[in-house]
Chains A and B, each alone.
Chain A
Amino acid sequence: MTFIKSIGQAVLGLATLAIVSGANAQAEPLPYPNKVVTLVTHSSPGGGSDVFLREMTKYLGRYIDATFIVENVQGGSGGKAMARVASGPADGSVFYATTPTYIYTSLMSKPQSTYKDMDPLVNIFADSEVIYTRTDGPYKSLKDVIEHAKKERGRWGAANPASLERQAAEQLKRAAGVTPAIVTHEGGGDMMLNVLNGTLDIGIGEIQELRSQLDAGKITLLATFNPERITEKPDVPTVKELGYDVSLVKFRGLAGPKGVPDATKAVWDEAIKNLLADPEYKKAYTAEVLVPQLIGEKDYPAFINNFATSTEEFLKSTGAIK
């Protein structure tokens, strides 16, 4: 069956190639030392990072003169994908799609290779993390939810046990001085049900996962954990504005093996800047409510390290790690 899978990958590669080469290049793509660049993700085909990479590779060929292939290395919550990239050639031919998951896995489960064994390259997006409730429920604002949690036992949902959403919930709980039950789930769909049927007061999740119910008017956004308001949803306040000093960034970027040449890194900085300005791509990612957040190769390592430090503190405080 691996044979069939490799045929599948070959066809997929050809299809990507066709799309990439068929598109009209607006600017001359930047020269690149490798013909083929493999972008590795721990997510399964159709999962968050997979969709992000595949969508991006459709346009990336306009700005970097190479062919991009997405490789799914599942298993070990990202542990295997990290090992694959960390031990790969540092010539710019292989990169890993970063998300907070790779920090969590590195901290919690001592995999063979951790985030420390890779060089952060560039950050591209931040997903919007939001607090939502059911539209016909009793809560009209985050204040209502906090007030309720002061009087009775509040019930707040987070998508996964070791996740940025859980961290956000715990931090908000502390900042507001309330003690609701924080109920973790196995994925956002699972939690959505419990918000819709009234088991939970609020859920904390990524806006992408909520779009269908949001469009149908079944749920309402109460606040966002983003540092700034979401451009497409200007009426939704940030948690910080509401007086609780919690904000977080669910980043999406790339990291490579240690020692990628500076010249190659510079190509990416330039290309991602142009890519984010591409009108067609902009239309696609705006529809996905992805907020462009370009952090170049100079600042990205510090950003990742800060994130890892605060996450480690949080995990220690909840007893998840020692």
Chain B
Amino acid sequence: MPSLPLPSAVDLARAQFALTVVWHFLFPAFTIGLASFLAVLEGRWLFTGKAVYLDTYRYWLKVFAVAFAMGVVSGLVMSYQFGTNWSVFADRTAPILGPLLGYEVLTAFFLEAGFLGVMLFGLARVGPRLHFAATCLVALGTLTSAFWILSANSWMQTPTGHTMGADGRFAPADWWAIIVNPSFPYRFAHTVTGAYLTTAMIVGAVGALHLLRDGKNPRARAMFSMAMWMAALVAPAQLVIGDMHGANTYAHQPAKVAAMEGHFETRSGASALLFGWPDAEAGETRGALGIPGLASLYLTHDLNGTVRGLNDMPRATWPTNLPLVFWSFRVMVGLGLLMIALGLASLWLRWKGRLYDAAWFHRLAVAMGPSGLIAVTAGWTVTETGRQPFTVYGLLRTADSVSPVAAPAVAASLAAFAVVYLAVFGAGIWYLLHLFNQAPHVHEAGPPTGVPTRTAGITPAPALDAPAHGESRPALQPAE
């Protein structure tokens, strides 16, 4: 084998995991919130009988079908990647993580086989109440999936409830302690709230786009108003949840927090840095500009509290890419603050009665459309690259987790994933943007009946709708 000037197999495997997981998480980050949004829309339709909510529901249902499908397709790849690229990790952690991921698969499978088909195609047949139940179960199912995945991820950050054999393999000792490990409640709350905000930003942007074109469109008004309520109420709450998550991380993974803050020296009254460039070689953050005492305040809840710096911790436990952790954190927090500003501005405009005709505000909301997706990607970058150089924090190193697959093989698969994902999910996202560009109409049609949708899975639709085949759009009104 001629030697190629390639990065190491472990770096290539990390790059491939990063690529596939970032692509993957874009979809659940959106659909977790969208499923709940749909449940609320259908609930409001059933409760008020106003057609505007049903039309808005159908408009977003089309989007949900496509986004959910892409989430499952990209998720299929993830379930094999632990074995193809991280086989030592898989062998050692499977007694703990296997059942958690197994429950995730069973939940997703059950949800997929059971209720998504009804939700996408069954309204005409099963009636509004049962259909609403299906929508709620899909929303609950996405949250249950998130529960198991985040439990597994959190265990990798803060492992508890296990024993470790001489051969480095983990064994379960206490399932409750494994599932509800110390960082799990915070990570779950922070991630689900982030997903809700991601959805709010996208729904708000689409609503704002159509308000700019036609300020009277009641469906655009409804979705915009609901998205802005979400931003106004949940974005500030996320700041509090994020702060609690950060304090939890500081207790369990101080090196990660030191990297996020760019703190090398342990000191009291530590600054929160706004800018700078952490330099691991020099052991300092260059060009640092910060607010004195603020980091001590939010990490120790005392202006003069002592905050530990990286120089106090063994070099072998430092995250491997300090600037990435540092800057991803600032991107996430910066966007979060912008969302809070957007939410507060919406409250002001609502109070002034100008929410639906402040064009500048609608343009701002359109620009903020992708902010949630960027923020959750940045947040995951913080927590995952901040966990380095470990896969299971403090116990199993990334370099010791990788499969014995030669670097050229990993380089080839990485290139193939990059090209195919860009083509396939690029086409999918293009199609979503095309859907966003369509105005939400009266008598919105919903997903095209009978067109097979991946992971709508086994959709009983066309046969269920059989009596209505003559009419392309079964007339559906709330209980008259």
Asked if chains A and B come from one complex, the reply is no
Which B residues form the contact surface with A (CB < 8 A)? Answer: none
